[in-house]
Amino acid sequence: MHCVSTRGRTPRTALARALVAGLAPDGGLYVPERIPTLDTVQPGATLADTARAVLAPCLDGPPLRDALPALCAQAYAFDAPLRPLARRGDHLLELFHGPTAAFKDYAARFLAGTLARLRPADAPPTTILVATSGDTGAAVASAFHRRPGFAVVILYPACRVSPRQAHGLECWGDNVRTFRVQGTFDDCQRLTKQALADDALRARLPLSSANSISLGRLLPQVAYYAHAALRFFAAHGEPLNFIVPTGNLGNACAAWLARRMGLPVGALVLACNANDALPRFFAGEDYRPRPARATLANAMDVGAPSNFERLRHWHRDDAELRAALRAFAVDDAAIADTIRQAPARHGVVPCPHTATGLHVLERLRAEGDARPWAVVATAHPAKFESIVEPLVGQALAVPPALAATLARPARGEPLAADYAALRRQLQAPA
């Protein structure tokens, strides 16, 4: 597969090179030059099997083509079950069974495997720079921890993540450095973009990104939508509709790609928190990025979703884009209320992000929507126990992989939200 940039000023680039680069040189985001069509793909027995079939047309050149089976076996080693909820037609697509208990484990592991295979044996170490609103950093750290040839630098907004999230970001050491930035996620993302666009720095320090701006994070996420939708279609003869808790739009763009590839994905609805730039846009207002606001669903505290540039690129105009998706904002009161009611109403305990999706589902049902829906469960509730436990009045069991992370000692460093400060740290010996 070849890629082009959303800004149109980057030459056509082989996928392998786009994955290594992260951001396109013109400051845009890489997108497939042509989106492959998969309308004859069958559901695999396992998620890894489906992933192989779905990603084969994307990873169609050497050396990734030959590595695909091993990459998929490693990245999709844990299942993504589609769990029926209490009401007929309601489902949860559980993406939180990986080592850091959030959906980002899948793509982070795939990207780590990919970049490791694309690295020339004699190359100097690559620094993976990642801005995180809470979960990306842990997934990327876990995926690259102790991988020879890689260092990881994580930037996360101080005071905006849960205690268990902070621990999951700071507990790696070895080739991973974690900075608590005095600012918001948008600040972290801006610093990352600045570093990746700093040619003088990159000439001395091989840098790559692992944010959802990287196509290497986006493409692997298509696999679990494909797997759930293909299996649902085989069993019920109709497409599965998805509600995607959304921050930076990476997961939702993967769902959109799955549908565009011809997979049986029906309607797509974005569930946002009080950061409502997208709901306002889809309701007809001009797109206006705003400063991020802190909410209970902190991994979605994004005021300027960078993948919006991809969605716009893929549609002729805003009218066509508005017809392709819907989006709703869910405020903290509604998130808390949904978590409180979820055990009785749905038979599950959701994390605050998943709760935005469940709230939107309730809204669609109240409108009389009778289609089958899957709410994407983006994280395990035990990762947000300080929010969830008081609301549901019960202690949550910690999954074993998360418990192992929490047992490691934490060590983060403070950093001002200032590019000069980051640049100094990046050039300091590790």
Instruction: Give the count of alpha carbons within 13 A of 390, CB side only.
Output: 3
Residue 212 Cβ vs ligand PLP, minimum distance, rounded to whole Å: 5
Residue 37 Cβ vs ligand PLP, minimum distance, rounded to whole Å: 24
Produce one character per residue of 94-121: b if its CB has 16 or more CB atoms within 10 Å, e if not.
Answer: bbbbbbbbbbbbbbbbbbbbbbbebbee
Q: Which residue has the tokens 């993976």?
A: 128
Binder among 24, 93, 102, 229 for ligand PLP (CB under 6 A)? 102
Binder among 5, 6, 13, 212 for ligand PLP (CB under 6 A)? 212
105 binds ligand PLP (CB under 6 A): no
Binder among 99, 168, 216, 250 for ligand PLP (CB under 6 A)? 250
Q: Of residues 265-304, which lie at the interface with ligand PLP (CB under 6 A)?
A: 299-300
243 binds ligand PLP (CB under 6 A): no
- Which of 208/248 has CB closer to ligand PLP? 248
Stretch that binds ligand PLP, among 38-46, 118-126, 249-257, 395-403 (CB under 6 A): 249-257
- Which of 250/279 has CB closer to ligand PLP? 250
Per-residue DSSP letters for 13-72?
EEHHHHHHH-B-TTS-BEEESSPPP-TTPPPPSSHHHHHHHHHTTTS-STTHHHHHHHHH
242/376 Cα distance (integer angstroms)? 7
Site size for ligand PLP, by CB under 6 A?
17
379 binds ligand PLP (CB under 6 A): yes
Q: Of residues 110-139, which lie at the interface with ligand PLP (CB under 6 A)?
A: 135
Ramachandran area for residue 368 (φ above 0: left; ψ -120 to 50: alpha; else beta): left
Q: Are 136 and 307 in contact (CB under 8 A)?
A: no
Rounded to the nearest angstrom, the gap between the alpha carbon of residue 9 and the centroid of all alpha carbons in its chain is 26
Name the residue among 193, 220, 211 with its Cα closest to residue 247: 211
- Which of 242/426 has CB closer to ligand PLP? 242
- Collapsing DSSP states into helix, strand and coil, what is residue 411? coil
Residue 428 Cβ vs ligand PLP, minimum distance, rounded to whole Å: 29
Interface with ligand PLP (CB under 6 A): 102, 104, 135, 212, 245-252, 299-300, 353, 378-379
